[in-house]
Amino acid sequence: MIRVLGIETSCDETAASVVALDGRSTPQILSNIVLSQIEEHAAFGGVVPEIAARAHVEALDGIIEAALADSGVDLADIDAIAATAGPGLVGGLIIGLMTAKAIAAAAKKPLIAINHLEGHALTARLTDGLDFPYLLLLVSGGHTQIVAVRGVGDYQRWATTIDDALGEAFDKTAKMLGLPYPGGPNVEKAAANGDAARFAFPRPMKGSAQPDFSFSGLKTAVRQAATAIAPLSDQDVADVCASFQAAVADALGDRVARALTRFRQQFPDKAEPALVVAGGVAANRTIKATLQGLCKQAGFSFVAPPLNLCTDNAAMIAWAGMERLRAGISGENAADFVPRSRWPLDSISAPMVGSGRRGAKA
């Protein structure tokens, strides 16, 4: 039995988890404690790094204690510590990684520095036992990428955003329309009562040979439409949200359809190809329905881990550490590892230029 303690503090969730594997059965999530900071950041319409870091300092020790207590496992029985070391807000990363270093040193346990994106990339193997290779669509507040997941530590980025991440576009749209934070769920809620055909918003990059995403132009179109009809009624807000959501789903579908075709060409021997969707935006029902339809047409399985494992959590970090332990590729010397606010999952693909550089490199 191998047990890994995972710690996640890359943004505005303070999380710890214990995951176990005995080699003969499916993995077990023995505990998965997540403390959200939504209330602390709601008044600002987004995450404030300094507030997030302070909240991690105050909560992390108790969250780790709770994760160990819920798992029924003592620290002495833990085989390794895995902690998010990037990408993310550097203040939170420092707190989580330094705490993990202290625990590992005191308990004489190996420490594994984990790329947050690798946690997302490998979650489907924890929940669904997927075999390599498979295709990953990561759509969250900070990342929008399509990645070919070929093995542990073996990732090829096929597409990324050249400006805003999709989750960021949802949050900014919500803020423009006076909807509360977090934006994604509130835009979807408003859209349920809206007319998706009222506003002819652009479908960024649709039909383009370039595989990447772009959402800044769509965000600008939303602002212009909202300004033109201000002051907005509740129905106006609902119609804007529905039209925005439809444009997003259409644009995403075009990009993903190209990736599915490419996957078939690059991995012709894969008998049962799969598209994995991870990140908080994956919870959007309109987007999910679009992707499920694409997968059905293309003969792909559609895999979306439970929402609590799609958003930021420590179980995915513990599992990534487990995968690296089993593969014998724990990576760089974690005791000397410095947190990285930017840490591309695919270090070979060139970063995008222009305003999309930050999102592409992460």
pLDDT over 50 at 17, yes or no: yes
Q: What mean pLDDT is predicted for residues 140-151? A: 93
Mean pLDDT of 37-55: 91
pLDDT at residue 362 is higher than 80: no
SS3 state of residue 78 = coil
User: Residues 146-169: what's their mean pLDDT?
Assistant: 95
Q: What is the mean pLDDT of residues 255-273?
A: 97
Reading the block at residue 352, the tokens are: 């995008």
CATH 3.30.420.40 residue spans of the chain: 2-126+309-341, 132-304
Per-residue tokens: 302: 């559609």
Spatial distance between the Cα atoms of 57 and 54, rounded to a whole number of angstroms: 5
Residue 63 near residue 33 (C-beta atoms within 8 A) = yes
The single-letter code of the amino acid at 325 is: L
SS3 112: strand
pLDDT at 352 over 70: no
- The average pLDDT across 92-110 equals 96
Q: Which two tokens stand for residue 346?
A: 């695919």
pLDDT score for 296: 97
Predicted confidence band of residue 329 (pLDDT cuts 50, 70, 90):
confident
**If pLDDT is split at 50, 70 and 90, which confidence band does 121 have?**
very high
Model confidence at 106, pLDDT cuts 50, 70, 90, reads: very high
321 and 114 in contact (C-beta within 8 Å)?
Answer: yes
pLDDT at 141: 80
Question: What does the pLDDT read at residue 162?
Answer: 94
Q: Which CATH superfamily is domain 2-126+309-341 in?
A: ATPase, nucleotide binding domain (3.30.420.40)
pLDDT at 234 over 70: yes
Q: Which residue from 1, 20, 36 is spatially nearest to 318, judged by alpha carbons?
A: 20
Whether the per-residue pLDDT at 351 is higher than 70: the answer is no
Q: pTM for this one?
A: 0.93
Close Cβ partners of 288 (under 8 Å, ≥ 6 residues apart): 277, 282, 304
Examine the pLDDT at 92 and tell me if it is beyond 50.
yes
Residue with the bigger pLDDT between 132 and 357: it is 132
Nearest residue to 263 (alpha-carbon basis) of 305, 302, 304, 300:
300
Cα 340 from Cα 87, distance rounded (Å):
6
CATH class for the region spanning 132-304: alpha beta
How many whole angstroms separate alpha carbon 315 and alpha carbon 33? 9
The burial of 67, by beta-carbon neighbours within 10 Å (0-12 exposed, 13-18 middle, 19 or more buried), is given as buried
Q: What value does the mean pLDDT take over residues 10-20?
A: 97
Across 245-250, average pLDDT: 97
Please state, rounded to an integer, the average pLDDT across all residues of the chain: 93
Residue 353 has pLDDT above 90, yes or no: no
Confidence band for 45, pLDDT divided at 50, 70 and 90: confident
Please state which of the ranges 100-104, 262-266, 358-362 shows the lowest mean pLDDT.
Answer: 358-362
